[in-house]
Amino acid sequence: MNKIELSTAINAPIERCFDLARSVDLHRFSMQHHHETIISGVQAGLMDYPNRVTWRARHFGVWFTLESAITKFTRPFYFTDEMQAGPFKKMVHDHFFYCTDSGTVMIDQFYFQSPYGWLGEVVDSLVLKNYLVNLLQQRNQTIRQFAETDKWMEVLAQPEKIYKST
């Protein structure tokens, strides 16, 4: 299984970072260039244990559907979302949050494996890993941008405003 690990320093309280990371509204906003929409499950607000959500998005010019569930949850330090159905053979995303003197460090550990045996392994190493790193970095920059400014209130207090003001 492939592993991506990213560390993002955020100058904001741990609780705010944790909640932004599990906001389906902020996720949808950060992935709008992929036309990501929710087709079932949690439609707005924050994911919690044992919530599920099914996303539909376009990547590489192809439409994909992915159902994900929160399988582990300890606020505000850790949660895991795992693919329940979708294009991967396996996908697990661990989110860790640590307090620092300047705010929070958010650690992503993202594990994935494509289907199709050795062919999937080749696609993972040549294309998919870099693509997913960029996707996660973009999402983390959005979380940081919102957490470090007053924009976080648009997501956590009034999620419907996120699309109108940004």
pLDDT for position 135: 96
- Give the CATH number of domain 2-23+70-165; options: 3.20.20.70, 3.30.465.10, 3.30.530.20, 3.40.50.300: 3.30.530.20
Biggest distance spanned by C-alpha atoms of the chain:
47
Question: Could you state, in chain order, the average pLDDT of each consecutive group of 10 residues for the chain (166 residues)?
Answer: 97 97 94 92 94 95 96 97 96 98 97 93 93 96 97 79 46
pLDDT for position 159: 53
pLDDT for position 157: 80
- Residue 58 pairs with which residues in a beta bridge? 63
Within 13 A of 107's CA, how many CA atoms are on the CB side? 11
pTM equals 0.92
Q: CA 118 to CA 26: how far, in whole Å?
A: 35
Q: CA 103 to CA 130: how far, in whole Å?
A: 28
